Structure 1
């Protein structure tokens, strides 16, 4: 039987062609420097997040001789050369610890596009090719950073709407965008790190895996919160003729003073459910419970369905006008969890505003569009070599393709600083610098993490 491959072998977590690069750099190369940036994309700034997880989970492992032997056998059989002596140097000289130094902006920092976010260089002059070897792994920070970035920008949209229409903007905002994305992502790991990226900006989530990542890698006891909620099976299992009994059961199970619970209400006829079941049959019981009922439409055109639901509930439960002149539903709220993305959120908020309702009446559940409908090109992430030392001399490294000027890479030993209130990337022509005024920190050196931020600290940088 063919033996299985180790799932913890760091050497194998790269692209195949990387194994041939040690033979391709100029003779006499002793130092390489690579950097990560967002070259543009959907948003004008990124909220950096997720590097600590990658370093903590993967790059603090030690490479063993068994790892080297396994990787050599696989990669050479795969058709590539393998730098066996180099990897054995990592084992024998460095005790299996990777001789790399990684600098990065503090996680949670909002950085305008076209600026350095992270850099990597080698600390052993005989192993410069390691800087490129780990591009594959380090580049994956694009994912949590992009999720965190999208979530942050939606937060600004919700914040503006609440500040215009609510007396409780600060209390409402953390729970306005709820993560429904766990089942729609490609892996458990994506759910965890993507889900936690969202929780940098908000406190609502149904992605339990995000809590694990938060506790294990960011010192977060409980990173986010949820509420009891129905799904279609807990309604339809009662049968259509007993739909109201299913709702009544939920009210009695969770309708406690000060509590909040959500009930999907479109299993058969959303309008009938709101106007008759919730609006007449169960209204008194809901009101007397002291809890907040959150009605969830789950089909149809999202802006239209939310508009209908809010107006129908207002007719049955009444509203109170706040100090800003906007109506707030009594006892009930609405959450829309189907078809939600940045555009539908804007449409729904605009409808509420036009109809005179506060944005606090509606919350949003976002699934695939939050955790899965992003890719590396959403913010055009790139990890490129920008400087080196060859035969003892500094050398700037960059690419400048005539066919796509937007892909011109930076050259130099890069750093991020603040000048005249703006973040700018500074380019040094030497490795001998102490980076004065830097906004970046050394977070990893020679196999050890040097910085560990808590989720609370990261949230405070937004």
Structure 2
């Protein structure tokens, strides 16, 4: 049995799409869809990730071999197949997809209920094509954008507390949320896309795939950084009686002047590890090393555990009042990497502030809640048809379900503009295909060619 090509773009769709070409009006020659967040956990989204999809998938187009393979699959699957249309694209158009995609700038923060992407057909022979691409395109947009939005929201929370309690918020902020999510996602591609989306907002990561994606798709020489850090195996390999030796070896190996390193302390008894081993036996070694040692209490209720660890470290290493009157630990810090999400981060920072501690003392590591918990309905992403031309007449179309007004879709010729009222959607005259003068949508893909590429620096600045 011959293996199927998992990268065949024609097969990158839902089964029911295969019959839709025969369901649209017979005289349809043009159709346009838009993608938006219809609300969700955040009132804003930070748009990101489309460019990776354009480079990796859409720009490569389709071949006659792809068409033959897809035809065989769909017919055996019990569905019809628009062979004539796909063969026309592969043969007459050289495999180049006849669609135009306009999108908001990557990295831009946009209020929900505004189109982020508009994809329209450019060839009257295959006006159904944008709908066929919905499955792949929507997935390419909602996942990295949702991760980027979650990360961006947490950035705003941490920034708020740093501005209240730290002397140099801008210098500290980029490394306050570290991506621990690579092992907790469902695929290598999720690690790359989600991890890269996080790095739009922060610069700390242990997801190596994210570095590859950021370089390959956005030209980032090095998008994120990490430090030497212990895991439980490197502690428990010494045996319970060798816990102190595990920490000592870590310090003797990596604790150099100006260095950062992290030590996990909950393999056995967190209180004993931080209070006795680190705070007593190894205190002088830490203080004389010139390094900043980051302590990771990886179990328990995050607000309580972080506060208790900070208090114990203050008792052993002392703290200094910064210019805003908050305490900053001397030579040590804390990173919480278990049970971390947007809610627990706010609770930890609030509790530290109430006890007089600067947010400078703590960083966070986030895994599943960052890269795996987000789903399409976290921000209620959808792609909807809004404009068609049938028998020479162009008109707006949309859905309006009586049982769920929240699913009301937009119709007409749409554009997204920015003016004195902010970013908003406008409806343009049906007989004028020109963009609005204040449109923020940019043509990024047209007829098989990528028209606009963003650099990594541009994406970060666009926020």
Partner of residue 51, structure 1:
50
Q: Which residue of 1 aligns with 2:374?
A: 374
Secondary structure of the corresponding residue to residue 427 of structure 2: strand
CA shift for structure 1 position 347: 0.8
Query: Which residue number corresponds to residue 214 of structure 1?
Result: 214
1:431, distance to aligned residue in structure 2 (A): 6.0
CA distance in 1, matches of 2:342, 2:7: 38
Question: Where does residue 458 of structure 2 map in the other structure?
Answer: 457
SS in 2 for 1:118: strand
Instruction: Confirm or deny that 1:263 pairs with 2:263.
Output: yes
Q: Partners in 2 of 1:296 and 1:421 — Cα distance?
A: 45
Q: Which residue does the alignment assign to 1:359? A: 359
Q: Are the counterparts in 2 of residues 413 and 431 from structure 1 also a CA contact under 8 Å?
A: no
Q: How does 1:8-407 map to 2 (within 5 A)?
A: 8-140=7-139, 141-407=141-407
Please provide the CA RMSD for this pair.
Answer: 0.8
SS at match of 2:186: coil
Q: What's the offset of the Cα at 1:428? A: 2.2
Secondary structure of the 1:334 match is strand
> Which moved further from structure 2: 414-423 or 287-296?
414-423
Give unmatched runs, 5+ long, in structure 1: none
Offset at residue 455 of structure 1 (A): 1.2
How far apart, in 1, do the equivalents of 2:424 and 2:348 lie? 37
Q: Residue by residue, what CA displacement relative to the aligned partner does 1:254-292 show, whole Å, maximum 9, x if unpaired?
A: 000000000001111111111111111110110000000
1:442 aligns with 2:443: yes
TM-score normalised by structure 2 residue count: 0.99
1:235 deviates by 0.4
- What is the SS of the residue equivalent to 1:309? helix
- Partner Cα separation in structure 2 for residue 350 and residue 371 of structure 1: 24
Gaps of 5+ in 2: none
Superposed structure 1 runs of 4+ greater than 6 Å apart: none
Contact 1:65/1:91 (8 A) holds in 2:
yes
* Cα separation, 2, equivalents of 1:309 and 1:367: 21
Give 3-state SS (helix, strand or coil) of 2:91's partner. Answer: helix
Match of 2:416 in 1: 416
TM-score by length of 1: 0.99
Q: Deviations over 1:375-403 (max 9, x none)?
A: 00000001000000000001211000001
Q: 2-side partners of 1:97 and 1:319: how far apart?
A: 63
Check the 8 A contact 1:396/1:429 in 2, yes or no: no
Q: Report Cα offsets for 1:13-43 as digits up to 9, x if no partner.
A: 0001101011001111000010001100000
Give the CA deviation at 1:419. 2.8
